[in-house]
Amino acid sequence: MATSGHDLVEPREQWGTRLGFILAAMGSAIGLGNIWRYPYVVYDNGGGAFLIPYFIAIATAAVPLLILEYALGHRYRHAAPFAFRSVRRGAEWLGWFQIGISMVIMTYYVVIIGWVLSYFYYSFGTRWGDDPDAFFFGSYLGTSDSFWAIGGIQWKVLLSVVIAWAITYLILRRGVRRGIELAAKILMPLLIVMIAVIVVRGVTLPGAAAGLNVLLTPDFGALTDAQVWVAAYGQVFFSFSIGFAVMIVYASYLRHRSELSNSAVIVGMANSGFEFLAALGVFSVLGFLASQQGTGVTEVVTSGVGLAFVAFPQIINEMPGFNSLFGVLFFGALLFAGITSAVSIMECAVAGVREKFRLSRTAAVNWMCGITALASVLYVTRGGLYYLDVVDHFINSFALIFAGLAEVILIAWIARQLGPLQAHVNRDSYLRVGWWWTISLTAITPLLLSAMAVINVYQEATTRYEDYPLSGLLVMGWGVVLVTLVLAVVLQRLRRHEPLPATIGD
């Protein structure tokens, strides 16, 4: 007899190997920001001296938070909503809020992957021409002149986005072991090799030394600037996939006897090592670009969209020999980093609705990918770049920080569950967590996240972001954050279906 998606009960999936879990977690953490954001953050915050607060932030916040989320997912065997509900009745909304944040991010993240796919194709023969700036913002995106001039759909962008969604959908549809884990085992080694090749080629180019000097020359005076320390903690918080609900659900797929703390350290160090390697590659080729243009490196330094889709095509145009191959490697690396992160972002939503509504994987993937894909169409219009920029700014500056702060306050101060979770981690872990973990989660992390929130609110209140119209910031910024929070509360109040997985006893 046929069984509906609502009635079908499936056993909880598991990773095939610990290596598969680690590679998948690395794939989630290593995303586009590691390649196009981190190098600029280092440069803008003291150069080589930034590595001091950066590694302190990893030890005192990022790794402890990563261990916490692993412990939550593994002990309670749930996605974020029911994991938080297991910690304290009435806290389910926080899990839905984190999933909502992930879904909002996914609506535009997959669009950027679509851009990368297009540029992967354009790399063959450097099809962006002699003026990459005009090509990207004009010919490709067709960016409108004003914020609310939505304009029509850019069909070549839409085609690439559809392909990006198809890849993500097919991986998710195949499940944890045959989809997510297999993709990570293939894509992550290839990504690391591609970045290594880019670095080797970059450092052999004329002017590379000047670029690396700008990146690595330490300004120790910057260490007295509180903003540099906030930037360090902000970087590790955003780049470790913390507060997205991703690591909670990934850890819930581990076997009952699993090493948690050591896995967190491995993922953290791999993520940081990759970021630094990417920074070497980026600044070596920026040094080359500066030498070709007869200007200083600081004149060509940029980050984000400008780095990937304007500066790098300019660099590729200037490169002697096999420049198309370099473009294929760079945009291929961005593509692999983007896909592994996108899959993890969607998986936390798929797992959440499966537990809440007792859906089969196929039904959950169909619903969540379908809803999110429809929402992403907004960003393939001529005004899409403006909306992407505003939504990304508000989600990362406010929603994500609030979600992370609420998480540590709930567990450390309200529910007081650090003790049981610490015991769970230490039960099977070679690297035991102790006082440093407790201090980090009860004091250091809440204080720093609070400071980041206050600073961001102050900056938003005193300076209008990118001079966008106030109506745009209210609707696409604060409005999106508020709607996400309201929907999280509504989802908590909907009728609950008892999920199958049970808490692992200690």
Closest CA to 275 of 53, 452, 25, 54: 54
Write out pLDDT tens, residues 441-466.
999 999 999 999 999 999 999 999 99
Q: What is the DSSP secondary structure assignment for residue 163, as one 8-state letter?
A: H
- Reported as half-sphere exposure (CB side, CA atoms, 13 A), residue 118 has a value of 25
Q: Tell me whether residue 503 is in a domain.
A: no
Write out pLDDT tens, residues 249-259.
999 999 999 99
Is the pLDDT at 5 greater than 80? The verdict is no
Is the pLDDT at 504 greater than 60? The verdict is no
Q: Tell me whether residue 198 is in a domain.
A: yes
Q: Tell me whether residue 8 is in a domain.
A: no
Phi, psi dihedral angles at 71 (to 5 degrees): -65, -40
Alpha helices, H only, 77-181:
80-87, 92-122, 132-134, 155-173, 175
Q: Tell me whether residue 500 is in a domain.
A: no
Residue reference for tokens 């950027």: 112
Predicted pLDDT of residue 496: 62
> Apex CA 469: angle with CA 468 and CA 475, to 5°?
100
Q: Tell me whether residue 143 is in a domain.
A: yes
Residue reference for tokens 């001529």: 382
Q: Is the pTM of this model over 0.85?
A: yes
Q: What is the arithmetic mean of pLDDT over 388-413?
A: 96
Predicted pLDDT of residue 215: 94
Is the pLDDT at 505 greater than 70? The verdict is no
Q: Tell me whether residue 489 is in a domain.
A: yes
Contact predicate 364/353, CB 8 Å: yes
Non-local (6+) Cβ contacts of 24 within 8 A are 15, 180, 181, 184, 250, 340, 344
Dihedral of alpha carbons 29, 105, 111, 364, sign: positive
* Residue 399 identity: A
Phi, psi dihedral angles at 39 (to 5 degrees): -55, -40
Number of domains in the chain: 1
Write out pLDDT tens, residues 199-239.
999 999 999 999 999 999 999 999 999 889 988 998 998 89
Write out pLDDT tens, residues 304-362.
899 999 999 999 999 988 899 999 999 999 999 999 999 999 999 999 999 999 999 99
Q: Tell me whether residue 4 is in a domain.
A: no
CATH number, residue 86? 1.20.1740
The confidence band for 274, taking pLDDT boundaries of 50, 70 and 90, is very high
Q: What is the arithmetic mean of pLDDT over 51-72?
A: 95
Average pLDDT, the chain: 94
CA distance 477 to 393: 8
Domain of residue 246: give its range.
18-493
Tokens of 218: 């330490």
Chain centroid offset of residue 310 CA? 22
Q: Tell me whether residue 10 is in a domain.
A: no
